[in-house]
A and B are shown apart, each in its own frame.
Chain A
Amino acid sequence: MSSGGSDLDKAIAQLRACRPIPENQVREVCYKARELLIEEGNVVTVDAPVTICGDIHGQFHDLMELFRVGGDVPDTNYLFMGDFVDRGFYSLESFLLLLCLKVRYPDRITLIRGNHESRQITTVYGFYDECLRKYGSANVWRHCCEVFDYLALGALVIGASTTLTPTDGPPAPTNTTQLAPLDSEIEIETLNAANEIMYRYARDSSQASNSQQPSTQSPSASSPTIPTPSNIGPAGTSATSSSSGSPGTPGGAILCVHGGLSPLIDTIDKIRLLDRKQEVPHEGAMCDLLWSDPDEIDGWGLSPRGAGFLFGADIVKCFNYKNDLSLIARAHQLVMEGFKEMFESSIVTVWSAPNYCYRCGNVAAILELEEDGSNAGFVRRSNGERGAGAGGWILGSNVGPNTSNRHSSPGAGNGNGNGNANRLGALTDSVPQRRRDGPGRRYRVFEAAPQDSRGMPAKKPVADYFL
């Protein structure tokens, strides 16, 4: 492995077949991953196009299905929002495969930390036991936990287009609504695993309202159907009706984090200042980012999970405005439809573990963000933190680690004046808040991998019930 390439490729091939790699190889991969991750800031900057994924939870076969639906690495850029391990039976293979891909293609895949990437949680929820079972000792678990400590806490996706290039595919047989015309500004597309279009909404379309509730059916007849969304817009969306965007206009950035916001964090820079290289604490900003949930409340609330907080629409909208974000993408909560937009599309939950725990009957989703055309000439760089002077692409207050003169240089932002907390306070009072146009969002919805998955070790659906 020390020679890089071919050993690593062999390990990847072995893991793709859902076979664990030897302990010494795990140690080496973990060491290399740490060397990479230590260079990343707490908030990794990621360029669109990118495909954003939620919880995986050791459902290896479904991770393979995700790659089939979303495209393989390195052809597709991926951002995984944590919770790779626990609950499923193949946490080890799932996490190590993602980690090997990270080491092999560091610019193509971004991994951020979920609340399950923790020593304490993995001893309760299965990953520890799985390592012990598969290796006979806790060494591999220990190596993995050391990597967990170095995972970034969030990611900032920049350069995402506000409109989608319409997918060239047939409408899904289940589609019951008029698809937006191809020449309109497409804000949302929802596709099934067969690349059929379940919905397509234009940004200024009246279809993109909460009142319209298309009834959804299963993309394939043999599997669990997608339940009709209840308190959400079309297929989990709460699409906006703003029509101010024009094709190619870059929207605000998209913050990706496993759980959500923290009452201790009002700017992304404050996330950057945390000391993340540790076990997830029981409280505090780092804990909140990994544990919190959006909820239909005003302000902040106590979380029934016992860690993190609940936060309402006002909190999200204020945070997004202040940080020049157009969207927060997060995972952490099971949603039966695979994704769920809330608070006028200011935040979305993406869930990527279909039939969670082999029991829940839900579908999964991934979120594709396209590259903004005007950013085409922008040079892709590695996942390292963008330095303050790195180029013309400076968003809001997200100018990098050099924050010492933040409050004395209101011009540090991108011209919207968002770089200065004091000035922002005045702005929010006096300027009517106009949201940044959200990015065009393509959701690919998929179901659990079939039982007899391509010669890999069998799934083990021994879900517990009360009997």
Chain B
Amino acid sequence: MSTHHHHEIPNLRTLLGSRRGGGTRGRGRGRGPPGSSHEGNEAARDNAVRNTDQDAAGSRVSCVKLGYLLDPYAQFFAIQPSTRRLPLLNRGTYVRTSAIDLLVDRFMTIAPDAPKQIVSLGAGTDTRFFRLRDKYPEATIIYHEIDFPANTTAKLNSIQRHAQLYSKLRTTPPSSPLALESMASSYHSPTYNIHALDLRTLAIFEDGQLPSLPNLDPSTPTLILSEMCLVYLQASVVSKILSAFLDRYVPAPTPISLVLYEPILPNDAFGRTMISNLSTRDIHLPTLATYPKLADERLRLKSQGFSNGFKAADTDFIWREWVSEDEKERVAGLEMLDELEELELLLRHYCIAWGWRDGGEGGLFTTAWKDTRQQEEG
């Protein structure tokens, strides 16, 4: 699926075996002709990828320790002792996480008694499910995470090791860990599901059967999250994956929405530098070139079938407009931040895009997100 394989469907058996780039929150996902390198290289890459996955978990812990985020679960997924991150990165992690939290909260609180379904693509070590269980103990949530087996296995291991985690998986907290095999890569329950799966397998349903996603309910309003995940795939593959959800897994008239967090503006000086820096780490962002601006993100959501709403804002706008003055003051007071101009540059180069199809159920997402302001320009 690198450029010379542009429209080819990957050989999935090889892909699943090699799991190249399958480690961190979607990093490197879906690139490169797998199996073409030596075993040693593959192992080294896997290792590097796992380290960066831990880096992401460490970033979250850094934010939690300094008071940016409230997340008692982040520490359980960070294996290495966390180092304090630069204020700029803490602020960026804060904006990203709280922006998605805000959209999710408005989804959760609209018709609070109705069941809700969330599908987190490339969830990695994300803790959102556990936080939602605490915040909405009465809600009916069907939560799904899809990631490579290497990630899901590690995650399940962490969950099994900590009562604070596995106790959240059931309504009646069990006195013992989940009865899972030590190398289990998937977990299924009416509430929480971890699917060990290469996302790209969802893109080939025209040619065959869609993979089964146990407990994915076709009639429950569904929110799909892609935090730095789909951006690593070719646009044509992304489109097919989304169609699988829109048309097959959660067909109309069930309300369905997508929230994207990913970079924008690849063509200015900062964007070009970002692409060049990441490519030296063998990280490529195919859809960034396809959807360079906020307007492209909106249009793409619309043409994908999220026809009732298609909005986008960069994270600089979100920091300024979504975060309350009190909260801004609180966060600004956590650390002295000397990197203002750099922070603004960085925040302007990431966006949240959100689109929805309400179907016939009285505009659930339209209502939930009616007060969520998007950026007019861009």
Interface positions of A (Cβ within 8 A of B):
115-116, 121, 124-125, 224-227, 304-307, 333-336, 355-362, 461-467
The verdict on A358 contacting B338 (CB below 8 Å), with A224-B269, A467-B228, A467-B283 known, is no
Q: Mark B15-38, 1 if CB is under 8 A from A, else 0.
A: 000000000111100000000000
CA distance A85 to B365 in the complex (A): 49
Cβ-defined contact, B27 with A360, below 8 A: no
Other CB < 8 Å A-B pairs besides A227-B269, A355-B273, A461-B280, 4 of them? A305-B340, A306-B336, A356-B342, A467-B26
Q: What is the minimal beta-carbon distance from B341 to any residue of chain A, in angstroms?
A: 4
CA distance A348 to B216 in the complex (A): 59
Q: Mark B346-364, 1 if CB is under 8 A from A, else 0.
A: 1000100000000000000
Q: Mark B322-341, 1 if CB is under 8 A from A, else 0.
A: 00000000001101111011
B79 part of interface (Cβ distance < 8 Å): no
Interface positions of B (Cβ within 8 A of A):
24-27, 52, 56, 84, 86-87, 89, 92-93, 96, 228, 263, 268-274, 277-278, 280-281, 283, 332-333, 335-338, 340-342, 345-346, 350
The 13 sampled A-B contact pairs (Cβ below 8 Å) are A116-B338, A124-B86, A124-B336, A305-B336, A306-B333, A306-B336, A307-B336, A334-B342, A357-B342, A359-B342, A361-B270, A462-B281, A465-B277
Cβ-defined contact, A467 with B272, below 8 A: no
Q: What is the minimal beta-carbon distance from B280 to any residue of chain A, in angstroms?
A: 7
Cβ-defined contact, B27 with A463, below 8 A: no
CA distance A307 to B56 in the complex (A): 30
CA distance A360 to B340 in the complex (A): 12
The verdict on A124 contacting B335 (CB below 8 Å), with A461-B280, A467-B24 known, is yes
Of A227, A307, A355, A464, which one neighbours B268 at CB under 8 angstroms?
Answer: A227
The chain A residue sitting closest to B93, CB to CB, is A466
A307 neighbours in B (Cβ, 8 Å): 336
The verdict on A115 contacting B52 (CB below 8 Å), with A227-B269, A360-B273, A361-B268 known, is no
B278 neighbours in A (Cβ, 8 Å): 465
Cβ-defined contact, A304 with B269, below 8 A: no
Cβ-defined contact, A465 with B273, below 8 A: no
**Residue among A227, A362, A463, A467 with most chain B CB within 10 A:** A467
A359 neighbours in B (Cβ, 8 Å): 270, 273-274, 277, 342
Of A125, A360, A461, A467, which one neighbours B345 at CB under 8 angstroms?
Answer: A360
The chain A residue sitting closest to B347, CB to CB, is A466
Cβ-defined contact, A336 with B274, below 8 A: no
A462 neighbours in B (Cβ, 8 Å): 281
Of B24, B26, B342, which one neighbours A360 at CB under 8 angstroms?
Answer: B342
Of B270, B277, B338, B346, which one neighbours A115 at CB under 8 angstroms?
Answer: B338
Cβ-defined contact, B269 with A336, below 8 A: yes
A360 neighbours in B (Cβ, 8 Å): 269-270, 273, 342, 345
Of B281, B335, B340, which one neighbours A304 at CB under 8 angstroms?
Answer: B340
CA distance A333 to B344 in the complex (A): 12
The verdict on A124 contacting B273 (CB below 8 Å), with A115-B338, A306-B333 known, is no
CA distance A305 to B335 in the complex (A): 9
The chain B residue sitting closest to A293, CB to CB, is B340
Q: What is the minimal beta-carbon distance from A379 to any residue of chain B, in angstroms?
A: 40
B26 neighbours in A (Cβ, 8 Å): 467
CA distance A336 to B281 in the complex (A): 25
CA distance A224 to B337 in the complex (A): 27
A334 neighbours in B (Cβ, 8 Å): 341-342, 345
Q: What is the minimal beta-carbon distance from A32 to any residue of chain B, in angstroms?
A: 30
The chain B residue sitting closest to A126, CB to CB, is B86
Of A115, A225, A306, A333, which one neighbours B341 at CB under 8 angstroms?
Answer: A333
CA distance A224 to B271 in the complex (A): 10
**Residue among B56, B96, B269 with most chain A CB within 10 A:** B269
Cβ-defined contact, A467 with B56, below 8 A: yes
CA distance A362 to B345 in the complex (A): 11
Of A115, A306, A361, which one neighbours B269 at CB under 8 angstroms?
Answer: A361
The verdict on A467 contacting B25 (CB below 8 Å), with A116-B338, A305-B340 known, is yes
CA distance A305 to B25 in the complex (A): 31
The chain A residue sitting closest to B341, CB to CB, is A334
Of A305, A355, A463, A466, which one neighbours B228 at CB under 8 angstroms?
Answer: A466
